[in-house]
Amino acid sequence: MVNTQVSLCGIRLKNPVMAASGTFGFGQEFARLYDINCLGSFSFKGTTLHKRDGNPTPRIAETPCGMLNAVGLQNPGVEKVIEEELPGIAKIFNAPVMANVSGFSVSDYVWVCELLDQCEQVGWLEVNVSCPNVHGGGMSFGTQASSAAEVTREVKKVCKKPVIIKLSPNVTDIVEIAKACEGAGADGLSLINTLLGMRLNLKTRKPLLPFVTGGLSGPAVFPVALRMVYQVYKAVKIPVIGMGGVSSAEDVIEMMLAGATAVQVGSANLVNPYACRDIVKDLPRAMAEYNITSLEQIIGGAH
């Protein structure tokens, strides 16, 4: 018998597989397809202080081995999330979920985190300082160590629950930013968010996306994500959640060997809505193949 359980910031998960924010909504659509209680948890749709309609369409562009997205944090705003979405989550998922939070100022982050911190279903606050698809928010905080640390420090003042900072790969040195967040009190780190990219329409000779650039995700980014998880794990003492191109049980094991305590599955959900379920079901087989009896024991094993 293999043991797939892990502990993330003191909260026990039946397995390390989590659906990544922005690819799983608030869980409702996927709960119609399968019992999402098979997951360790999921990070729900990025939530801002006020309602956002998102960027103009088209918002998605295909690329070899991946996709670009420029959705722009479309969400109903934190009050609606608390009033309508969280009660819905409680009906379909019986474990703590991760609240993904975005903002356009430090005070935005603080206010949204303080409200969500009080919600029973929320186990962790995943503070997104790394979204590349909005003007003036998200990534602007995640590309400088001092800004990321400031958001971390202020959010920690109002939160009792673990605060996980989601880092951007669009930086020169992700280790510097990771260490700054740890120093400011972060309880964990999520990495990576999408890589900045673009495509051109050859007929119009203009960018395919009205936003011009988008976030690259999918299997193409997996080696980059793995490298960054490996580097950050080596530099900090707080837990790391790995993500970026994960699409198989073997990818989960590879991420954990690099240093991830839990692993999020993102764009694979958009290709195959059963991706998370299938990965969870396949984990015992992959563990047996590589002589792994406990996933918790392999965290950072590549070091």
Closest CA to 177 of 129, 230, 221: 129
How far, in whole angstroms, is CA 202 from its chain's centroid?
Answer: 33
Place of tokens 């935005």: 108
Q: How far are the Cα atoms of 276, 288, 291, 293, 298 from residue 1, in angstroms, in the given order?
A: 21, 9, 11, 7, 16
For residues 193 and 229, the answer to whether their CB atoms sit within 8 Å is no
Catalytic residue among 9, 119, 131, 181: 131
For residues 98 and 126, the answer to whether their CB atoms sit within 8 Å is yes
159 is catalytic: no
Place of tokens 């597989």: 17
For residues 160 and 124, the answer to whether their CB atoms sit within 8 Å is no
**Among all residues, which ones are annotated catalytic?**
131
